[in-house]
Amino acid sequence: MIIDGRALAAKYREEARLQAEKLKKRGVFPCLAVILVGEDPASLAYVSAKKKALDQAGMEGRDYRLPETVPEGELLSLIISLNADEKVHGILVQLPLPDHICRDSVINAIDPLKDVDCFHPVNLGKFFLGQTGVIPCTPQGILFLLEEYKIPINGSNVVIVGRSNIVGKPLAMLLARKKQNATVTLCHTGTQDLPKYTRQADILVAAAGQPSLIRGDMIKKGAAVIDVGITRVPCGTGATGSLCGDVNFNEAVNIAGWITPVPGGVGPMTIAMLLRNVVLAAAGFDNGN
């Protein structure tokens, strides 16, 4: 079964829109400030998609475009001013940043209450402890995909390929929580004999950023395959045109029990979860998790 991330994302985007309407009736107008440094084509596309989603959900989106040569101090000053702006509920700095800007300094400057990406150490700490607060967008979206398609998580062997702070690590912690109760293996560049692990996975998540890293013979028959990777490749070489995931879709689709396409799988859910987090930030992050 091919997992339709767009359809499920539409459901959560509508939920976010309705929640935003309720907040606006109380005088709270959800607002996300998005900061883009430079003109990286992929980042421009992401920012444009986020702005469109905010507009459709009836939320305010403020765009701040800074040149690639902007001094770090100027970027930090902008963040500090947005922290103090009571009309701004979320702040998102589009990554990656130019080499002369310290990523950690930028993330640490964001008010944790406005950190809708869940990158700030305070929010990551709360997340790892299972406390109420923001949940990283892509891991939350993946969990909702698994639940929507009734893919068994409790007691399943989950293998995640990729240990980033954005996807791999937080997803491992989320699925290992007692509520989800999966047994999680986190693979990375130091993993010896990767196929040995991936073939044991009931749920295989590819989040390494390497096109077609996961081949058909690396997948357990009937497994759920979640492809987080998205890389622009020369037209015609990827399973879906110029965008290619970490999984060789043409080989995997006949082996997996469920699989997410690229595009149209995890990506739309990530943006939907961002909208959800903006609403939660405007409401005070009471998400019940």
Known catalytic residues?
50, 94, 117
How far is C-alpha 142 from the chain's CA centre? 8
How far is C-alpha 270 from the chain's CA centre? 4
Starting from the edge strand earliest in sequence, which strands make up the sheet with 157-161, in order? 183-187, 157-161, 203-206, 224-227, 258-259
CB proximity list for 170: less than 8 A, separation 6 or greater = 118, 124, 127, 135, 136, 139
The CA distance from 29 to 24, in Å, is 5
3 state SS for 202-231: CEEEECCCCCCCECHHHCCCCCEEEECCCE
The CA distance from 286 to 113, in Å, is 11
Residue 130: name the closest of 88, 164, 183, 175 by CA.
175
